[in-house]
Amino acid sequence: MSNINNPIIDWLLQEGWQITDKSDFTLALAQTFIKAGVPLDRQRLVIRLLHPQVMGFSYTWDSQTQEIDLFETGHHLRESEMYKNSPFAALFEDGAGAIRRPLHDPKCQMDYSVLPDLKEEGFTDYVALPLIFSDGRRSAITLASKTAGGFSTQHLTTIYDSLPALARIVENYALKHTATVLLETYLGKETGKQVLSGKVKRGDGQIIRAVLWFSDLRQSTTLAETLPRADFLDMLNDYFDCTAGAVLANGGEVLRYIGDAVLAIFPVGETPECRQTHQAAQNAERAIRSAFDRLNELNATHGAKNLPIINCGIGIHVGEVMYGNIGTHDRLEFSVIGSSANEAARLESMTKELNVPVVVSNQFCQLHGGDWQSLGEHNLRGFSHKRELFTLIR
């Protein structure tokens, strides 16, 4: 018979749900189990995620250290023998409802690789339970005891009755983490923060000053027509690793992939003299150099495999843009708009006309303060007056 008054459920509903840090929650949950009379010596909370690289996180509490050990699990783990021979494979892949192994019993079934180690460490009982989310996905909690005789029926009832409330809190953690990761993956780290902070309506945004990056793949139409579709997509992703990857590695924010083009920003500070402003300009230069270094390495590999050599043009400008939500009521995009963004795109198009890999504006050169090679004065399509353009001294 279930406990009518369950102190674990009371704590979860009154206090536990307010703890935002998952390590702090794991520690507090273990302490709450112990206060409720459950003889707990080790607890592991496994939270599975919807994530392109990470399968999930585990938070392990041990009574000896009273500390939380955090472990990040990649999707590759599912192919390992360690995972296949674990209780988690039974819970997640096979849909097991509950696993209990009374290690103090000489006849205990030792069917998971973790059990001999636990028994050798002095544990007398082990329980693994699924935490079932509202959509059917599963996370899990495991509990182990060193007390003689292990968990009693009353202990197990207290634990089991608390699972639905615990699952709701863990699901909330998983959803928040997933939302953050997906927004960062598809919108960018800073843009994702803007959306999560509440800027979700059309027109929400702000005027910012930023170094603007626009890069474009050379001869993309020819490549798309001559390469098999799968090979072209692989090449395109390799190209983005070189260009967008260089931006991200040097503190920039990739806002859009426009076909095979990349629109990115390096936000500057409040004044031209401040550290953030100087750093943004330096970061942009490092990203340019890194992009071409990466492309050179990629092309060396392509040459050895008799694959097409790929190149790109990069345009860099600095100016004020509107950074916010644009689009229809039903389909929005968080991006930058304004003449400065258009000018960065026009600068990139000038790389073809001037036969150089990168073209930057006079405003960016002044902001950067370094040496750049003048390309003379030129008209930009859509702009009324000539301006002096520059390129990188390599």
Domains in the chain with CATH codes:
7-186 (3.30.450.40), 192-391 (3.30.70.1230)
CA separation for the pair 314, 360 (Å, rounded): 8
CA separation for the pair 317, 367 (Å, rounded): 10
Distances (CA, A) of 276 to 194, 212, 308, 316: 19, 15, 39, 17
pLDDT of residue 3: 46
Residues 6+ apart with CB under 8 A from 105: none
CA separation for the pair 115, 164 (Å, rounded): 26
pLDDT in tens, the chain (394 residues): 444 689 999 999 999 999 999 999 999 999 999 999 999 999 999 998 765 555 788 899 999 999 999 887 766 777 788 888 999 999 998 999 999 999 999 999 999 999 999 999 999 999 999 999 998 999 999 999 999 999 999 999 999 999 999 999 999 998 887 777 666 555 555 555 555 555 455 656 677 788 999 999 998 888 888 888 888 999 999 999 999 999 999 999 888 888 899 999 898 877 777 788 889 899 999 999 999 999 999 999 988 888 889 999 999 999 888 877 767 777 666 677 788 889 999 999 999 999 999 999 999 999 998 889 999 999 998 887 889 999 998 7
CA-closest candidate to residue 106, choices 119, 121, 90, 95: 119
CA-closest candidate to residue 218, choices 364, 351, 344, 54: 351
Strand partners, 261: 216, 258
Task: Look up the pTM and report it.
Answer: 0.60
Residue with tokens 């909330």: 172
The one-letter amino acid code at 78 reads R
Tokens of 265: 């920003």
CA separation for the pair 336, 107 (Å, rounded): 67
Tell me the backbone φ, ψ of residue 382, rounded to 5 degrees. Answer: 90, -5
CA separation for the pair 163, 154 (Å, rounded): 15
Share of the chain above pLDDT 90, in %: 57
Tokens of 169: 């809190």
pLDDT of residue 48: 87
Mean pLDDT of the chain: 87
pLDDT of residue 222: 87
Sign of CA dihedral 103, 107, 113, 119: positive
The answer to whether the CB of 58 falls within 8 A of the CB of 73 is yes
The answer to whether the CB of 36 falls within 8 A of the CB of 8 is yes
pLDDT of residue 50: 65
Tell me the backbone φ, ψ of residue 279, rounded to 5 degrees. Answer: -65, -40
Going by the DSSP 8-state scheme, the letter that residue 206 receives in this structure is E
CA separation for the pair 180, 189 (Å, rounded): 9
The answer to whether the CB of 262 falls within 8 A of the CB of 213 is yes
pLDDT of residue 1: 41
Tokens of 177: 């983490």
Radius of gyration of the chain (CA): 28
Buried b (16+ CB within 10 A) or exposed e, 323-345: bbbeeeeeebebbbeeebbbbbb
Residue with tokens 């100087």: 278
Q: Is 100 helix (H, G, I), strand (E, B) or coil?
A: strand
